[in-house]
Amino acid sequence: MPESSSDATTPSLWRRAVRATLLWFDTSAAAVDDGDLDRIDWLRVVPFIALHLACLTVFWVGFSWFALWTAVALYAVRMFAITGFYHRYFAHKAFKTSRPVQFAFAVVGAASVQRGPLWWAAHHRHHHRHADTEHDVHSPRHGFFRSHMGWFLTRRGFGTNFDSIKDIARFPELRLLDRFDILVPALLAVGLYALGSWLEAAHPGLGTTGPQLLVWGFFVSTIVLFHATVTINSLAHRWGTRRFATRDDSRNNAFLALITFGEGWHNNHHHFPGSARQGFAWYELDLTYLGLRAMALLGLVRDLKPVPADMRTARPESA
């Protein structure tokens, strides 16, 4: 008796579900399969959706100033790790540092739930090679949703081109962070819950609890951090000013620069990506660069690449 189409489909669905579940914990569990690589892989992105839904539990866990400031602090620390290290160090090698500092900030960046440093750097290098062309997966020319987060949810977006990051892929500790990219966020979440539970018993005057600190410090802070970061893909190639006539649609946007610690000076960055500084003018606040300067004074980083004098001159669009 021939096998029915529903019977044939069931094992395939089960295999996809098992593969997606394994990939939540181990990104090397299976290779990206054939088919439409630009289709959203809904099974794999269930945890990403759950992170957003978990933010709604603020109405059950309540509010405390301690929980709010914990969320703000974790936003700031992790944003600096993303902008200073995931972006300017791992993707662009705009300065040098030691292997322990490199690993420490890779861990902090991994706590942002924006995958590992190798994945992040590989995709960003691809973006600069193909900015705002058909090969740029998060160009707003493909639509707002696609550029903001749709690309991130696809099977193509899940993959990592290791050929483009051979300089940093040689570090086994970075490969480990990439492979088990859920580990650091999970430890942060557990740590926040444990801290909140202890504070509830030891310092009740702070008004916080384990669930409250978990929701505000991890879920809310992480989701705000994610959406602030990806505005550079979706908004900084649409709204702002263009000091330089780059081959892409990059813009300088002061508001985005404020919430992303300097990344909003995006037209500057695309004009000269190799600099550790993205706010070229004195009035362009670049908190990440100021943080890197402070680290340089402490001897934690060195050789911050400057913007060459001849690259600072505005080059307007041709008439």
Q: How confident is the prediction for the chain on average, in pLDDT?
A: 91
Residues 263-289: tens digit of each pLDDT: 999 999 999 999 999 999 999 999 999
Q: Provide the residue type at 107 as one letter.
A: V
158 DSSP 8-state letter: H
What pTM was estimated for this model as a whole?
0.92
Residue the block writes with tokens 């051979």: 166
Residue 172 CA to residue 181 CA, distance in Å, equals 14
Report in angstroms the alpha-carbon separations of 158 from 23, 100, 135: 10, 27, 15
Give the H/E segment covering residue 254: helix 254-259
Residues 2-50: tens digit of each pLDDT: 555 455 555 576 777 777 777 778 887 655 555 678 888 888 899 999 9
Reduce the DSSP state of residue 63 to 3 states and report it. coil
Token pair in block for residue 203: 């310092």
